[in-house]
Amino acid sequence: MPTTEATIPQLNLDLIQTLALAGLLYLTGMLLKKKIKLFEQLNIPSAVLGGLVFAAVNLILHNRFLNIQSNTSMQSLCMMLFFASIGTNASFGLLKKGGKQVIVFLILSSAFCVIQNLAGIGVASLFGVSKLFGVMAGSVTLVGGPATGLAFSPLFEELGLKGAETIAITSATFGIVFGGLLGGPVATFLIRRFNLEKQTKKDVIRAKSDWAETDETLGVDITHENSSFTMSLTNVVIIIGLGSAVSFLIAKSGITLPSYIGAMIVGAVFRNINDKKEWMILDQKVIDFAGGIALNIFLLIALMDLKLWELSHLAGPLSAILLTQVIVVILFALTITFVLMGRNYEAAVMSSGFIGFMLGTVANAMAVMKTIVDKHGPAPHAFMVVPLVGAFFIDYINALVITVFANFLK
């Protein structure tokens, strides 16, 4: 007897059609940010907005009017390229330059990755759902953001967590929104509660120097095949290839890791050797440019394959876990982060940034901190410490933390 699903039309998009639709969705996300200022203020990526629009439409169409299947074959390559760019950013020279505060902030952030996962596991256990669910709604998606969440999803699916991609993007989107909303009020409370003084005149002068706008223009030499642009991209391709071999060897050893870890490791090794030996061309602007494009394509294609209908039975546990995570991060920022970072104005600004990227993204953290300093005065150390930890180093620690939890719970 034929089923109802058999009568529903099926649309299978090939690679080119998938990429074309992804482009349209990216433009849609940009338009939404332009029209709805809240999205811009919260720093929600255009790729996430556009992808969620498609996921919502797909939810309405699925098993009713039309079933759509995208081609996701480019996802792996884009994921590798993006995380290779993260790897080449991990310079130990930068970590050393940041000084003691960077180390302390990194330790706090690393410890909180563990706390997030333990909190998630605790609430998941109360609801009788998989403990992996708690980890996915923990540091995987809140510290890691949508990219890390979607990158780890296949691994968590293999370990038995059904609908891991859907959980990942829902948690990450929630984190981005609340990370952008809560950081400012927390810093404002600390500043008023402890009557924190603004920076001295000397600090203001130094801060303005630190904040001097850098040239963000990327020059591309199209006349020479050995240009910095071409050689940097070529070297990144080599890094990705070597990284895939490293990931293969790690997998053969029986350790459970996402496939992009090898590219991150090799990227970091190449960067730190190159910082001392200058043996190859690694223009970080070029690599970040390529990584940014890869990230947007990766997010869009992943979201186009999102199955929101798999989330309905998990809405209660997910809401409880995420609410708990918000409470925990606020308490941690108000107490431990603020105290250990110095109990001063800079520490209050760092606490707001801590909430921004421990729930959302570094872009959230920077936007939140900028709002605070525009009103209360410069915080140059905060603008050095938070980006160094949030954008470069915490990804490694978080990947290690997630891997330990995943291997322990499998």
Q: What is the pLDDT of residues 136-161, one digit of tens each?
A: 999 999 999 888 898 899 999 999 99
Residue position matching structure tokens 């990450």: 172
Percent of the chain with pLDDT over 90: 37
Tell me if residue 1 falls in helix, strand or coil.
Answer: coil
pLDDT higher than 50, residue 214? no
pLDDT higher than 70, residue 256? no
Q: What is the pTM of this model?
A: 0.76
Alpha-helical (H) ranges within 36-99 are 37-41, 46-61, 75-88, 92-98
Q: What is the pLDDT of residue 213?
A: 44
Give the contacts of 2 (CB within 8 A, at least 6 positions apart): none
Residue from 107, 174, 110, 103 nearest 137 by CA: 174
Q: What is the pLDDT of residue 119?
A: 97
CA 96 from centre of chain: 23
User: Token pair of 226, please?
Assistant: 């050995």
Percent of the chain with pLDDT over 70: 90
Q: What is the pLDDT of residue 137?
A: 96
Q: What is the pLDDT of residue 163?
A: 87
pLDDT higher than 60, residue 6? no
E strand or H helix at 11 = strand 10-12
- Range from 6-15, 223-232, 287-296, 316-325 that averages highest in pLDDT: 316-325
User: How much is the average pLDDT of 269-277?
Assistant: 89
User: Token pair of 95, please?
Assistant: 């970590």
pLDDT higher than 80, residue 189? yes
Tell me if residue 90 falls in helix, strand or coil.
Answer: coil
Q: What is the pLDDT of residue 12?
A: 92
pLDDT higher than 80, residue 105? yes
pLDDT band at 3 (very low <50, low <70, confident <90, very high): very low
Average pLDDT value for the chain: 85
pLDDT higher than 80, residue 216? no
Rounded CA gap, 123 and 129, in Å?
Answer: 9
pLDDT band at 2 (very low <50, low <70, confident <90, very high): very low
Q: What is the pLDDT of residue 161?
A: 92
Residue position matching structure tokens 């910082």: 275
Rounded CA gap, 197 and 180, in Å?
Answer: 24
pLDDT band at 215 (very low <50, low <70, confident <90, very high): low
pLDDT higher than 70, residue 205? no
Q: What is the pLDDT of residue 33?
A: 87
CB contact at 8 A, 407 and 255: yes
User: How much is the average pLDDT of 164-180?
Assistant: 88
User: How much is the average pLDDT of 285-289?
Assistant: 88
Q: What is the pLDDT of residue 355?
A: 95
pLDDT band at 198 (very low <50, low <70, confident <90, very high): low
CB contact at 8 A, 48 and 299: yes
pLDDT higher than 50, residue 201? no
Q: What is the pLDDT of residue 211?
A: 44
pLDDT band at 121 (very low <50, low <70, confident <90, very high): very high
